[in-house]
């Protein structure tokens, strides 16, 4: 330990000292969510007047990001995100953040083969006696970023859980240029939205399709959350976890005795994830828990990996679906909302799994800020970003029912999707389908 501790002390800097390596024009990486380096970000923001055109990458950051907040003109710092939280979405609305199109399984290869990282900054756990720091819930793409970086700066966050892994979950002091320390606040978490009656109805439609022994991927949002609660109250047993993001829904299943991972056909006995975001109780549960393992997302989200889990059930939200079966889960028109994330990865992998199913869920309608009702099923997209192509649309669910679009013609899809629409919009959707030549006389009226 003395050998590693001596090296640690030699590399220890204040945040202000460490960020002096950043030069104008550099690409700087902030890693993601709970591994956001808040102390280094604050120190970098204080160099605003010395720097121009510093490009920063992050993902799922809850903010505030001081390098963004201090520079509304974006002359000094230009922030970019792989996947937006509500905070980053507001930055996009203010032209203070740009999205980086991707799918999660490819992010690490993007760094390896194509991207420049001049300085990587990320928060990690305290070093252990063997000289290793743990990437905690940020393991998904951490190692790939550090391996591409010219300079590596680690920020020790004493609040982070140490999460066991299967690959690239740690970095050694010998691979690091600088280390900084300091006190940190509570770790971030998603604010839980209260589920609506529609969310509950959708969850209840999906529940009968989940067998005991299934492996689950639950996306982000109120509907997957309420489905987790419904499963916790059901008679299902021996469920497994294989997911890009471990959230409190899995902790609820564990507490109810439903999540055992015993029947998994891949990594039996372990819940697999690439990221962890949730409550303090979730972080405590994942800390040095032998039943949880983090892996890089290029492994977790690879379709061939997902498919090795028999009865893989993938459940995700979307914003809208058009009559052709195209799914938009990341924009409203051209307004950016979140990102592709791993939705397409899991839609693909779950469909390949023996007994697997991929569900895309949404309420049939929504109200705008003026109280006007709009349909989430639309004739065709006009500017909306397509997350899942129509060729990979499977189960679509609203509070009005569920359809499976696999192998269906364009006119069958139109009929099936209109059956899921809010009744107030069905007639106008039929008229649109007729104009688009995807409605035939035998279709029900």
CA distances from 263 to 117, 190, 206, 216, 234 (A): 41, 29, 21, 12, 18
| Residues 6+ away with beta carbon under 8 Å from 364 | 198, 375, 376, 377, 398, 399, 400, 420, 421, 422
3-state secondary structure of 274: strand
Q: What angle do CA 41, 244, 204 make, to 5 degrees?
A: 125
User: Torsions phi, psi of 279, nearest 5?
Assistant: -80, 170
Distance CA 214, CA 309 (A): 8
Distance CA 283, CA 62 (A): 16
Structure tokens at 411: 């006119």
Bond into 51 cis (ω within 30): no
Distance CA 132, CA 397 (A): 45
Active site residues: 244
| Residues 6+ away with beta carbon under 8 Å from 211 | 236, 311, 355
One-letter-per-residue 3-state SS of 209-256 = HCCCCCEEEECCCHHHHHHHHHHHCCCCCCEEEEEEEECHHHHHHHHC
Q: What is the DSSP pairing of strand 395-398 with strand 357-361?
A: parallel
Walk across the sheet containing 377-378 and list its strands. 327-328, 320-322, 377-378
Q: Tell the burial category of 383 from Cβ atoms under 10 Å away from its Cβ (0-12, 13-18, 19+).
A: exposed
């Amino acid at each position: 330990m003395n050998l590693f501790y001596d090296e640690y002390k030699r590399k220890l800097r204040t945040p202000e000292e460490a960020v002096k390596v950043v030069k104008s024009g550099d690409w700087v990486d902030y890693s993601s969510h709970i591994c956001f380096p808040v102390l280094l970000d604050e120190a970098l923001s204080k160099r605003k007047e010395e720097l121009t055109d510093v490009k920063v990458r992050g993902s799922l950051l809850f903010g505030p990001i001081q390098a963004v907040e201090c520079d509304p003109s974006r002359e000094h710092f230009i922030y970019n995100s792989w996947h937006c939280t509500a905070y980053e979405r507001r930055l996009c609305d203010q032209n203070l953040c740009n999205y980086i199109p991707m799918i999660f399984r490819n992010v690490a290869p993007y760094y390896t083969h194509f991207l420049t990282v001049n300085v990587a900054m990320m928060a990690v756990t305290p070093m252990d006696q063997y000289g290793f720091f743990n990437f905690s819930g940020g393991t998904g793409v951490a190692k790939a970023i550090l391996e591409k970086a010219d300079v590596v700066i680690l920020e020790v966050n004493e609040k982070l859980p140490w999460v066991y892994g299967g690959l690239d979950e740690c970095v050694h002091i010998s691979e690091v240029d600088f280390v900084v320390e300091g006190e940190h606040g509570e770790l971030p978490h998603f604010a839980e939205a209260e589920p609506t009656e529609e969310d509950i109805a959708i969850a209840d439609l999906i529940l009968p399709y989940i067998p005991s022994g299934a492996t689950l991927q639950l996306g982000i949002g109120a509907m997957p959350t309420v489905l987790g609660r419904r499963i916790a109250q059901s008679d299902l047993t021996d469920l497994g976890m294989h997911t890009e993001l471990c959230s409190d829904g899995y902790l609820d299943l564990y507490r109810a005795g439903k999540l055992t991972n015993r029947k998994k056909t891949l990594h039996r006995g372990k819940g697999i994830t690439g990221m962890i975001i949730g409550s303090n109780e979730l972080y405590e549960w994942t800390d040095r828990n032998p039943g949880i393992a983090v892996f890089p997302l290029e492994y977790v989200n690879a379709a061939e990996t997902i498919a090795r889990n028999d009865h893989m059930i993938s459940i995700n939200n979307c914003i809208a679906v058009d009559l052709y079966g195209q799914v938009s889960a990341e924009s409203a028109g051209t307004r950016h909302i979140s990102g592709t994330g791993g939705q397409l990865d899991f839609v693909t992998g779950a469909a390949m799994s023996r007994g697997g199913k991929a569900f895309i869920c949404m309420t049939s309608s929504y109200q705008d800020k003026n109280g006007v009702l709009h349909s989430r099923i639309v004739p065709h997209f006009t500017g909306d970003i397509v997350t899942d192509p129509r060729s990979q649309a499977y189960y679509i669910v609203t509070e009005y029912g569920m359809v499976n679009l696999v192998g269906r013609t364009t006119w069958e899809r139109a009929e099936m999707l209109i059956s899921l629409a809010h009744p107030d919009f069905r007639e106008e959707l039929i008229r649109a389908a007729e104009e688009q030549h995807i409605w035939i006389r035998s279709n029900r009226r």
